[in-house]
Amino acid sequence: MLQVTIEQLNGWMAQFLWPFVRLLALVGTAPLFSESAIPIKVKIGLAFVLTAAIAPGLPALPPVPPSSYEGLLLLAQQVLIGVAMGFTMRLVFAAVQTAGEYIGLQMGLSFASFFDPATGSNTAVLSRLLNILAMLVFLALDGHLLVLAALVRSFDVLPLSPGVMHREGWGVLVQWGGVVFTSGLLLALPLICALLTINLAMGILNRAAPQLTVFAVGFPIMLIVGLLVLTAVLPHAAPFLEHLFQRGLHAMSEVANGFSSPASPGR
C-alpha cells in the first residue's frame, strides 16, 4: 500500500501550490485572461496546466506547511505578486478606455453608452471600440504569451520563499500608472485638439454673427469632424499601442525587481 508522509505532502504542496497561486492571481487580473466571458473553471484549468509545465524547472523549496504562519505569508505574497504584475498590464487597457472617454466627450457622444458585462457598468461606445482595437493589437503581438513569460521569469527574480517583499515594487506600479494614463491622453490628443479648434471657431462665428445660430448645427459638425479625424488617426494607433505594450512588459519586470530588492538610499 502506498503511504505518503506529511513531509512528502508538504514538499508536493511547496512545488505546485505556490506557483499555482501566483499564476492564478495573474490570470485573474491580466488583460484578456481576466475577461468575465471566460469561465472561472477555464481560468483555473489554465493556471493548473501552466503550473504543471513550469513547476519542475523551479528551484527546490524547503517544505513549508500550508497551515503554518510561513505558509500563509507565502500564500499572501504569491497573490500580491501575481495581482501586481497582472494589474500593471491592465493599466494599459484602462488608459486606452480613458482615451475613448475623452474623445467621446469632445465629440458629444458621452451619452452613447451601453452595458458592458466585462466591467459591470456602462461603457462609452468609443471606449469599447478602442479597447477592442487594443486587444487585437495585443493578440497580434503575442502579448498574452509575453505576459505569461514575464511571470515565469519572475520566479528567477522572486523565488518561492517566505522572505520580505520590498515596497519598491508598489512605488514602481504607482509611477507606471501615471505614465500610462499620460500616454492615454496623448492617444486622444489629436482628436481633442481638432475638436477644440472647431468649438473655438464656432464660438467666434457665433459672436460675430449671432443670427446664424451656429450651435444649432454644431453637434453634427463635431460628430462628422470627429469621425474624419478618428479615421485618419486609427491607422497610426497600432505602433503607439505596440510601444505602450512593450513598456508595459518592461514595467512588469520592474515591479518584480522592485519587490525583490529594497530601495536605494538615494531614492
Residues contacting 267, CB < 8 A, separation 6+: 168
Question: Which is more confidently placed, 106 or 135?
Answer: 135
Q: Supply the DSSP symbol for 141.
A: T
Q: Find out whether 29 and 83 touch, Cβ atoms under 8 Å.
A: yes
C-alpha cell at 80: 500580491
pLDDT digits (tens, 9 = 90+) for 61-70: 666 666 677 7
Residue 97: name the closest of 79, 121, 78, 77 by CA. 121
Cell of 50: 501552466
Q: How far, in Å, CA of 35 to CA of 15, rounded?
A: 28
pLDDT category at 222 given cuts 50, 70, 90 is confident
- Per-residue model confidence (pLDDT) at position 265: 37
Cβ-in-10-Å burial (0-12, 13-18, 19+) of 144 comes to middle
Least confident of 148-152, 194-198, 209-213: 209-213
**Residue the block writes with cell 505518503:** 4
Q: Which of 158, 164, 159 is nearest to 61 (CA)?
A: 159
Confidence of residue 264 (pLDDT cuts 50, 70, 90): very low
Q: For position 7, what pLDDT does the model report? A: 65
Look over the chain and give the mean of its residue pLDDT values, rounded to a whole number: 80
User: At residue 116, what is the residue type?
Assistant: D
* pLDDT mean over 20-45: 86
- Read off the C-alpha cell for 25: 492571481
Domain segments of the chain as ranges: 6-260
pTM of the model: 0.79
User: What does the pLDDT look like over 230-256, one tens digit per residue?
Assistant: 888 888 888 888 888 998 899 888 888
Question: Model confidence over 136-172: pLDDT tens digits?
Answer: 989 998 888 999 898 888 888 887 776 667 788 888 8
**Radius of gyration of the chain from its Cα atoms, rounded to whole angstroms:** 24
Q: For residue 267, is pLDDT > 50?
A: no
pLDDT band at 266 (very low <50, low <70, confident <90, very high): very low
3-state secondary structure of 114: strand
Helices (H), the chain: 6-29, 40-54, 69-107, 125-140, 143-157, 168-208, 218-233, 237-260
Spell out a b/e string for 30-64, using b for 16 or more CB atoms within 10 Å of the CB, else e. Answer: bbbbbeeeeeeeebeebbeebbeeebeebeebebb
Cα–Cα dist 180/60, whole Å: 37
Mean pLDDT of the region 70-74: 80
Q: Counting beta carbons within 10 angstroms of the beta carbon of residue 259, is it exposed (0 to 12), middle (13 to 18) or buried (19 or more)? A: buried
Q: Rounded to the nearest 10 degrees, what angle do helices 237-260 and 69-107 cross at?
A: 160
